[in-house]
C-alpha cells in the first residue's frame, strides 16, 4: 500500500507566473525511508507543505494511506518537522511537547509516557524542564524532531532536520529516526546533505523547477545513466588527450596529473575510445569509479547557482 500517493500535483503561488510545482506524480510505499532532493527553489518545501496540508494544490490529488489528504483522519497520520526551529523558547521541552501532543490528540497518561519516550529518544530527558531558550542549537534540533515523532505518526515528514547541528546531535537525530523507521513509520526526508541520504534513505525523489526529475532506489538513482566514470591514467599530455576526446563527442575532463575522467551515457563508445588510446600507447592503466549521489544529483539538476 502506498503511504503517500501524489498525482499530477500542480501549484503556483499568487503573483507568480511560473508554477512552483508542475504535474508532479510519485508514490512512496508504506515503511519506506525516502529522500526528497532538489536545489534551492526547486519546489521541495512547497511539495512538503502540500503533503503536510499547509497548502492546497491547484490541481491533482494527494492520498495518505489510501485516504484523501483533506480528511482529518489522514492529517492525524502526519508528523511534521519543519526546517525552522518551531519551538516556544520561553517554554520548557516538556511544555512544548505537552502543547503539541495535546493538539495531536494525546492526553493524560498516554501523553506523559510518549513525552518521556521521545525525550529519551532524542536524549533530552535531563534537560526536559529547562526553558528552550537555554538550549544549544543541537538540542533545539533534537526537540524539533521529538515533537514530530511524539504522536507516533505513520508518515513522518522532515524538512532539513539537521541544519547547523554538530556531529553528536546529528548522530542522535539519525538514531532516533532510524528507530522510528524500524517501528514502521514511513519517512519523507528533505536535505541537502547527500551523505545523509546515502546513509538512511532507500528511495530518492529528485525535483527541480517544480518538476519531477527522477524517482527510484537510492543505489539506482546514483548509478544509472551518466558518470560511468572511467579514470584513465595516461602517457602524454592529459589536457591534449582530454580535448581530443571532447572533440570526439565524449564527456572528458582532466582530474589529476596525467589523469582524465571519461564519462557519458554510452559505455560502448567510451570503451571504444579507451581502446583507441591503448592502441596508440597512451593508456597506462584505467579504473572504474562509482559515481556519488551528489555527482548524479548535480548531473540531474545542473551546476549553475540557484541564487534567485
Q: Residues 56 to 75: which contact other proteins by CB under 8 A?
A: 72, 75
User: What is the per-residue burial (b if ≥16 Cβ within 10 Å, else e) of 239-268?
Assistant: eebbebbeeeebbbbbeeeebbbbbbeeee
85 counts as binding other proteins under rule CB under 8 A: yes
CB of 157 to other proteins, least distance (A): 9
12 is a contact residue toward other proteins (CB under 8 A): no
How far is residue 140's CA from residue 166's CA, in Å, rounded to a whole number? 12
CB of 69 to other proteins, least distance (A): 11
- How many other CB atoms are there within 10 angstroms of residue 136's CB atom? 12
How far apart CA 157 and CA 138 sit, in angstroms, is: 19
Give the residue, chosen from 22, 29, 30, 95, that forms a contact with other proteins under the rule CB under 8 A.
95
Applying CB under 8 A, does 11 fall inside the site for other proteins? no
What is the closest distance, in whole angstroms, from the C-beta atom of residue 60 to other proteins in the complex? 20
Residue 105 binds other proteins (CB under 8 A): yes
Q: Which residues pair with 204 in a beta bridge?
A: 35, 216
Residue 155 is a binding residue for other proteins (CB under 8 A): no
> Counting contacts by CB under 8 A, is residue 287 touching other proteins?
no
Q: Which window, 31-39, 52-60, 161-169, 212-220, contacts other proteins (CB under 8 A)?
A: 52-60
* Residues contacting other proteins: total by CB under 8 A: 28
Our finding on whether 161 is near other proteins (CB under 8 A) is no
Q: How far is the CB of 36 from other proteins (least distance, A)?
A: 17
d(CA 279, CA 276): 5
Q: Does 163 bind other proteins (CB under 8 A)?
A: no
Beta carbon nearer to other proteins, 80 or 135: 80
Between helices 137-149 and 93-103, what is the axis angle to 10°? 30
The answer to whether 137 contacts other proteins (rule: CB under 8 A) is: no
Helix (H) or strand (E) holding 269: helix 267-279
Helices (H), 42-190: 44-51, 72-75, 93-103, 108-121, 137-149, 167-182
Site for other proteins in 177-236 (CB under 8 A): none
Residue whose CB is less far from other proteins, 89 or 113: 89
CB of 52 to other proteins, least distance (A): 5
**Percent of the chain as helix, strand, coil, to the nearest 5:** 40, 25, 35
Contact with other proteins (CB under 8 A) among 58, 66, 103, 237: 103
- Would you count residue 134 as binding other proteins (CB under 8 A)? no
Order of strands across the sheet that contains 259-263: 251-256, 259-263, 230-234, 283-288
Compute CA 55 distance to the chain's CA centroid, rounded to the nearest angstrom. 20
Cell of 49: 507543505
Binding site for other proteins (CB under 8 A): 49, 52-54, 72, 75-76, 78, 80, 82-91, 95, 99-100, 102-105, 131, 147
Amino acid at each position: 500500500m502506498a503511504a503517500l500517493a501524489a498525482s499530477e500535483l500542480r501549484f503556483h503561488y499568487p503573483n507568480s507566473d511560473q508554477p512552483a510545482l508542475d504535474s508532479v506524480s510519485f508514490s512512496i510505499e508504506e515503511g519506506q525511508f525516502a529522500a526528497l532532493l532538489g536545489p534551492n527553489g526547486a519546489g521541495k518545501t512547497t511539495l512538503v507543505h502540500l503533503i503536510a496540508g499547509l497548502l492546497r494544490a491547484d490541481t491533482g490529488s494527494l492520498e495518505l494511506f489510501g485516504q484523501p489528504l483533506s480528511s482529518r483522519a489522514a492529517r492525524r497520520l502526519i508528523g511534521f518537522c519543519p526546517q525552522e526551529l518551531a519551538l516556544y523558547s520561553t517554554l520548557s521541552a516538556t511544555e512544548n511537547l505537552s502543547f503539541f501532543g495535546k493538539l495531536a490528540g494525546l492526553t493524560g497518561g498516554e501523553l506523559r509516557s510518549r513525552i518521556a519516550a521521545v525525550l529519551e529518544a532524542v536524549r533530552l530527558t535531563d534537560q526536559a524542564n529547562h526553558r528552550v531558550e537555554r538550549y544549544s542549537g543541537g538540542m533545539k534540533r533534537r526537540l524539533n524532531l521529538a515533537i514530530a515523532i511524539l504522536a507516533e505518526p505513520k508518515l513522518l515528514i522532515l524538512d532539513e532536520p539537521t541544519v547547523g547541528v554538530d556531529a553528536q546531535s546529528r548522530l542522535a537525530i539519525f538514531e532516533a529516526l532510524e528507530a522510528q523507521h524500524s517501528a514502521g513509520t514511513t519517512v519523507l526526508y528533505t536535505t541537502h546533505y547527500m551523505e545523509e541520504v546515502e546513509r538512511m534513505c532507500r528511495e530518492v525523489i529528485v525535483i527541480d523547477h517544480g518538476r519531477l526529475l527522477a524517482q527510484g532506489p537510492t543505489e539506482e538513482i546514483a548509478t544509472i545513466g551518466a558518470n560511468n566514470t572511467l579514470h584513465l591514467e595516461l602517457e602524454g599530455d592529459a589536457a591534449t588527450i582530454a580535448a581530443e576526446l571532447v572533440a570526439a563527442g565524449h564527456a572528458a575532463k582532466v582530474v589529476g596529473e596525467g589523469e582524465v575522467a571519461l564519462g557519458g551515457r554510452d559505455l560502448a563508445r567510451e570503451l571504444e575510445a579507451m581502446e583507441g588510446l591503448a592502441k596508440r600507447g597512451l593508456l597506462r592503466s584505467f579504473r572504474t569509479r562509482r559515481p556519488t549521489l551528489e555527482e548524479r544529483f548535480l548531473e540531474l539538476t545542473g551546476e549553475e547557482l540557484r541564487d534567485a
